[in-house]
Structure 1
């Protein structure tokens, strides 16, 4: 089930994720994925897509997860970052071997966890489930705020209670409608294109690459959960409207997960990956 060569390669992928940062590593997942999609569309093999984009080099469960773990360690244990949830900053600046080793260790862990999930034939996107699992482990190992975060206990108990009472796990009506509309739009176009090309990760690779604008400081949302779930549902059913419906579900679920796991926290549990594996489970089981 395990390959020594892949375990060693996963260590390198995790080190890379720590070195350049979790989000930059994931952005390259998108760009390399676009190349892989192009090769497939031209009639070539799927090697670049399967073994590079989602493999030891840029697989989110390896490079991104390794970067997330290294950031949590660098921020919360070494105090190199203002927050252990900072997934944008390349950790090359730390010049600390231990930070890279944490990234490499979680790269290996990501490979092993995903291999186990695949061996068990879990009916979901195992890469996304691995990213979530790794993030939870990071939260408990390197975090200080618990699984769903905590409010500033340094303030008075009354103030903390008042703030806690205002915490919303469900988006308000304005945010809800905004997410529905942009998920609807993306779902429609991606479902159409996936139905046309029969490449379910087409939209995902575009969305992942677009996150380069987040790295540049622009305020754009992550959309890869929406586009991937739309692609999976469309391929499973052959129906672009069902694909669009699942795009909306993924968009809303991502927001709920972000409010639940990433509010007032000091490590990163990835909301898009969480939304993906939940939606993929539903799609794979029932469709």
Structure 2
């Protein structure tokens, strides 16, 4: 599947960019709403991370389906049932809700509202929360896409949905920085295993404030800047090579998402890389064939892999490490890096933005 075809896949069935009429058409289609509600409930039932792993497998299947399958797997993987803005976001919101109700005691080291690995089952109120945020997800994503806002509408929606669920369920939207930390970016209290002060933050189930770490990094084994940059470079170059072989920017993303199955199973030190592989592969395809040599295109892809990694780490230090629920650092990074790719395309530095709305 070529890069142009990949963009076409995301535009199938009325998913094209550019008009308010398209948004209104979506709003009047009950199948979209029902699909999004079901997808959000699916994410709540399975858990946000298992649902996202499922997205990864669908995307891989879609890429290798190629012309014969019409890229349907990619379309389904990013669509109104299994897309991350639906199932993952719905699952994250459901976890925040269940934790607020005191219904998650999974043994998670951090606040239980951050535990996106655990299945939440079939309780109607939890499924309803997932369904509601699935509907919110499709609405925001479609508005962004059809108004051609130059960013990744799915990734942007995942972040906006998470900030919304914090506000709706009474959590601090940004989080509370401990007095033991020297600002948002300081991971030192975690390294020293320092705990919160009594009453500094709300308790969590059986854990009081002083039973919680003063700083809770998103990935305890992957937060040092040098480590993050190194995996970003490796993942970015690997994704660019996959794009060379397939013509698709999405294979690296699908593989990155699928590998999180191992993380969900509790295997330590599994890196999270989809915010490195997707911008790197997109940057490669945006660069290759536009006057840059293949080596230069690969170098640019590697730079975007590193950029995606560092942006994700910076975001987690501000919004995740001091908060009580899961606000997704990779989604924030993907939205930011693809906005940058869109801007570079609009000003003519890159030949295209491949699939990013508003600059394709």
The two structures share one fold, judged by TM-score above 0.5: yes
Cα distance in 1 for partners of 2:248, 2:81 equals 21
The 1-side partners of 2:250 and 2:328 are apart by 19
Q: TM-score, normalised by structure 1?
A: 0.90
Pairwise CA distance, 1:15? 0.6
RMSD of aligned alpha carbons: 1.8
Match of 2:52 in 1: 26
Residue 181 of structure 2 aligns to a residue whose secondary structure is helix
Shift of residue 166, structure 1, vs aligned partner: 6.3
Instruction: Give the alignment of 1:218-257 within 5 angstroms.
Output: 218-219=267-268, 220-238=270-288, 239-257=297-315
> Which one has the bigger helix percentage?
1
> Match for 2:246 among 197, 201, 212?
197
SS at match of 1:128: helix
* Unmatched tracts of structure 1, length 5 or more: 152-159
Structural mapping, 1:1-287, within 5 Å:
1=23, 2=26, 3-40=29-66, 43-50=68-75, 52-76=76-100, 78-82=101-105, 83-92=112-121, 95-144=122-171, 146-151=172-177, 160-161=178-179, 163-165=180-182, 167-168=184-185, 175-219=224-268, 220-238=270-288, 239-287=297-345
**Secondary structure of 1:165's partner?**
coil
| Deviation (angstroms), 1:232 | 1.1
SS of corresponding position for 1:149: coil
Q: How many residues align?
A: 271
Structure 2 runs not aligned, ≥5 long: 1-22, 106-111, 192-222, 289-296, 346-360
- Mapped to 2, the partners of 1:193 and 1:99 lie a distance apart of 39
1:127-175 CA-partner distances (Å, limit 9, x unpaired): 001101101101111242x232115xxxxxxxx53x0326525899x92
Alignment check: 8 A CA contact 2:181 2:187 kept: no
TM-score normalised according to structure 2 size = 0.72
